[in-house]
């Protein structure tokens, strides 16, 4: 059994030292504290207990606290008539999340408050008030309707983080269409597979994107993908870089030719609370990507709730999270931030271009109050030295956020001490695409220890259990949620059985998330890694099957297995073991070709760190590749039970690969 799955605690001594405790200013400002006072709740522990005992009360109270606008009153907060996996919230209600994120502010006294700040890779800056964002979003909604996009249509959004990206997401919500956010670094195969699965009828993209001062083709990738996705009949193209791109007559339309001439008025479509508004793709351990279905009164409310409850986001804040639209934190940032009424900062560029102080300069220039990054970014930036953050004014910061992967103490401390000046709490936050946000997090009402979480997110009846569902403390177990919550996915697109199998089949009536977790004696929570094979590279999740499919697309590869290995910067990197086709001479140069093939299909961010040629892969007698055994052998960990293996000698070959002097040589545990 691997160390992550061990019954022994994995806590480090420094994890038990309180790094931050709330002072009077944080207590007094706390939105969560005001919520407790309003409902006569004396302590935070009492709040969690009441929310777990009566989820319908809690989420109804949250809806009131957020001031949500309903076009038709809901009849019931929680409906479990179809069983817990198919729970519905706010049934009978009329609810369009864009009415709450945009319309209500643009049409009231907040119209001239700043809604959106954008900074490009080229340092261009744009600022939009709620009134201005509303008008431009309405123009786009009118243009999309004129191009044939209707309520219920699935529409892909394949764009970098631009003001127009937020407009696209919001305009589709206004129309009642279902948007499919795509990672802007996807290759054609990855983009096509999601357009195909979602049966998308339309795509919104750009001619290109700027990255480190260079133009990155996007329309050409989109063209290749649309050639494989015949349901896509229209494409709206935003001019970002000005590069020459092919435009197919009858399908492709330039944004600047159709959007500006439209009316700035558009009546938001009245949608049902449980009507889908987004299908966001996440990868599992096997098979094609999973399309998590989210509804208007689900993901956006959960995002706004978590920002308010955990990050204490309020209307006078400026929120910046380093993310892409294709990672759930992109839609989470835009929908959740705007529903709360805060100012949202979007950033097109990279954190160390043109200088390693780019993030800290963003904080200084735009007076960011809440900053969120993945640990990967901190690991990379801390290597540049303390002078870069110290050279910028970070006095506006009051909250630091993190999600995407587990921390280790040194970068956590650097983030806390150097970026937050030892005064800002790090709100650690972990959940997933299917959960619409956090299962565990931190709040500013409780002390914070390095690398940990000081609470389950309110409204999430979370626990750590053994395989039978019995609670465990002081040792590693499965992270579970015992009751439904607002924002829980409504299943996988066209694949309800896969949804039930993934989350509800292991412990009856309990959501099993797939993370190892631990609760220590002080009530601090820690995530200890994935309990499945999903790869998480720099915050981006991908299933090994996708990587393996991309590898075998190269004519030299007969079969392949992809596993994750620890990486000091990315948190985890991809390592591929490939069996060459008969007659193929395996070489390092050929390995690099295959790595490039994978990057071409899935995107450069998912390029494997290393590819090892092997004669065979460890398999069971029914030909199932044993990734768990491969990873353990490569990292020098106990392989566990290998009695079912057809070819035990293959394990020794994998173990020998770790000594080849590869880039992962220093990753062995």
Residue 622's CATH number: 3.30.300.30
DSSP state of 448: B
Residue 70 falls inside a structural domain: no
Domain that holds residue 547: 535-667
Q: Is the pLDDT of residue 77 over 60?
A: yes
Identify each DSSP E strand in 146-248 by its residue range: 154-158, 178-181, 202-206, 208-211, 214-217, 234-238
The domain boundary, picked from 258, 278, 296, lies at 258
Rounded CA-CA distance 294/300 in Å is 9
Helix (H, G, I), strand (E, B) or coil at 565: strand
Closest CA to 488 of 286, 308, 307, 297: 297
Residue 145 falls inside a structural domain: yes
Please give the C-alpha separations between residue 67 and each of 100, 111, 339, 341, 383, in angstroms, as whole numbers. 9, 17, 9, 11, 44
The domain boundary, picked from 258, 293, 323, lies at 258
Average pLDDT over residues 72-90: 98
How many residues would you count in the chain? 669
Residue 464 falls inside a structural domain: no
Q: How many domains does the chain have?
A: 2
Closest CA to 57 of 84, 89, 93, 100: 89
Q: CATH number of the domain that 221 lies in?
A: 3.40.50.980
Q: Is the pLDDT of residue 515 over 70?
A: yes
Write down the pTM of the prediction: 0.84
Please give the C-alpha separations between residue 666 and each of 117, 409, 508, 570, 659, in angstroms, as whole numbers. 41, 18, 41, 14, 10
Q: Is the pLDDT of residue 541 over 70?
A: no
* More confident: 104 or 409: 104
Residue 248 falls inside a structural domain: yes
pLDDT confidence band for 287 (50 / 70 / 90) = low
Residue 179 falls inside a structural domain: yes
Please give the C-alpha separations between residue 454 and each of 135, 186, 243, 549, in angstroms, as whole numbers. 41, 35, 49, 40
Closest CA to 252 of 216, 277, 227: 227
In percent, how much of the chain has pLDDT > 70? 93
* More confident: 384 or 511: 511
Closest CA to 106 of 124, 89, 88, 128: 128
pLDDT averaged over the chain? Answer: 91
Residue 524 falls inside a structural domain: no
Q: Is the dihedral of CA 159, 164, 169, 173 positive or negative?
A: negative
Residue 68 falls inside a structural domain: no
Rounded CA-CA distance 317/337 in Å is 9
Please give the C-alpha separations between residue 463 and each of 446, 485, 512, 623, in angstroms, as whole numbers. 19, 14, 10, 35
**Cβ-based neighbour number of residue 455 at 10 Å:** 23
Rounded CA-CA distance 328/324 in Å is 8
Average pLDDT over residues 271-293: 84
Closest CA to 602 of 306, 166, 289, 244: 289
pLDDT in tens, 381-412: 988 999 999 999 999 999 999 998 778 788 89
Is 334 in contact with 321 (CB distance < 8 Å)? no
pLDDT in tens, 216-257: 999 999 999 999 999 999 999 999 999 999 999 999 999 999
CA atoms lying within 13 Å on the CB side of residue 164: 20
Residue 545 falls inside a structural domain: yes
Closest CA to 145 of 181, 170, 167, 174: 174
The domain boundary, picked from 212, 240, 258, lies at 258
């Amino acid at each position: 059994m691997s160390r992550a799955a061990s019954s022994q605690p994995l806590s480090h001594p420094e994890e038990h030292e309180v790094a931050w405790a709330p002072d009077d200013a944080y207590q007094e400002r706390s939105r969560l504290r005001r919520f407790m006072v309003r409902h006569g709740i004396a302590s935070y522990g009492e709040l969690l207990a009441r929310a777990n005992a009566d989820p319908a009360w809690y989420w109804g109270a949250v809806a009131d606290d957020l001031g949500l606008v309903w076009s038709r009153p809901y009849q019931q907060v929680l409906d479990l008539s179809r069983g817990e996996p198919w729970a519905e919230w706010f049934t009978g209600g009329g609810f369009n999340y864009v009415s709450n994120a945009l319309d209500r502010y643009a049409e009231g006294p907040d119209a001239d408050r700043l809604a959106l700040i954008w900074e490009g890779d080229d340092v261009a800056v744009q600022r939009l008030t709620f009134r201005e964002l509303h008008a431009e979003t309405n123009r786009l909604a009118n243009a999309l309707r004129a191009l044939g996009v209707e309520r219920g249509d699935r529409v892909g959004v394949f764009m970098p983080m631009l003001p127009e990206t937020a407009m696209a997401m919001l305009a589709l919500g206004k129309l009642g269409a279902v948007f499919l956010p795509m990672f802007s670094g996807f290759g054609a195969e990855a983009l096509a597979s999601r357009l195909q699965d979602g049966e998308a009828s339309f795509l919104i993209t750009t001619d290109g994107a700027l990255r480190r001062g260079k133009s990155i083709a996007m329309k050409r990738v989109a063209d290749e993908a649309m050639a494989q996705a015949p349901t896509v009949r229209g494409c709206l193209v935003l001019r970002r870089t000005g590069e020459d791109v092919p435009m197919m007559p009858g399908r492709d339309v330039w944004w600047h030719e159709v959007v500006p001439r439209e009316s700035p008025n558009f009546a938001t479509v009245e949608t049902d609370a449980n009507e889908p508004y987004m299908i966001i793709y996440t990868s599992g351990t096997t098979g094609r990507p999973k399309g998590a279905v989210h509804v208007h009164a689900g993901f956006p409310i959960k995002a706004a709730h978590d920002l308010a409850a955990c990050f204490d986001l309020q209307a006078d804040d400026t929120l910046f999270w380093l993310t892409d639209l294709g990672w759930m934190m992109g839609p989470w940032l835009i929908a959740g931030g705007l529903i709360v009424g805060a100012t949202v900062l979007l950033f097109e560029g990279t954190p160390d271009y043109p200088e390693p102080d780019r993030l800290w300069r963003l904080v200084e220039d735009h007076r960011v109050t809440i900053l969120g990054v993945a640990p990967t970014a901190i690991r990379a930036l801390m290597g540049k030295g303390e002078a870069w953050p110290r050279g910028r004014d970070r006095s506006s910061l009051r909250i630091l956020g993190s999600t995407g992967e587990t921390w280790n103490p040194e970068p956590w401390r650097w983030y806390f001490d150097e970026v937050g000046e030892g005064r800002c709490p790090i709100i650690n936050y972990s959940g997933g695409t299917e959960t619409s946000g956090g299962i565990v997090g931190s709040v500013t009402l409780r002390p914070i220890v390095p690398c940990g979480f000081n609470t389950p997110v309110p409204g999430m009846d979370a626990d750590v259990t053994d395989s039978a569902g019995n609670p465990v403390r002081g040792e590693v177990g499965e992270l579970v949620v015992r009751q439904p919550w607002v924002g829980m996915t409504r299943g996988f697109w066209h694949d309800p059985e896969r949804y039930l199998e993934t989350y509800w089949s292991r412990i009856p009536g309990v959501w099993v998330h797939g993370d190892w977790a631990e609760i220590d004696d002080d009530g601090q929570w820690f995530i200890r890694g994935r309990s499945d094979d999903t790869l998480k590279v720099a915050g981006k999740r991908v299933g090994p099957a996708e990587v393996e499919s991309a590898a075998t697309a190269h004519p030299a590869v007969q079969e392949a297995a992809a596993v994750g290995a620890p990486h000091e910067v990315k948190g985890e990197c991809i390592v591929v073991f490939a069996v060459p086709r008969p007659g193929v001479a395996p070489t390092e140069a050929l390995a690099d070709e295959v790595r490039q093939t994978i990057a071409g299909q899935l995107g450069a961010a998912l390029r494997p760190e290393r590819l090892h040629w092997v004669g065979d892969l460890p398999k069971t007698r029914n030909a199932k590749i044993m990734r768990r055994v491969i990873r353990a052998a490569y990292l020098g960990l106990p392989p566990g039970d290998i009695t079912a293996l057809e070819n035990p000698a293959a394990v020794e070959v994998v173990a020998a690969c770790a000594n080849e002097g590869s880039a992962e040589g220093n990753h062995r545990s």
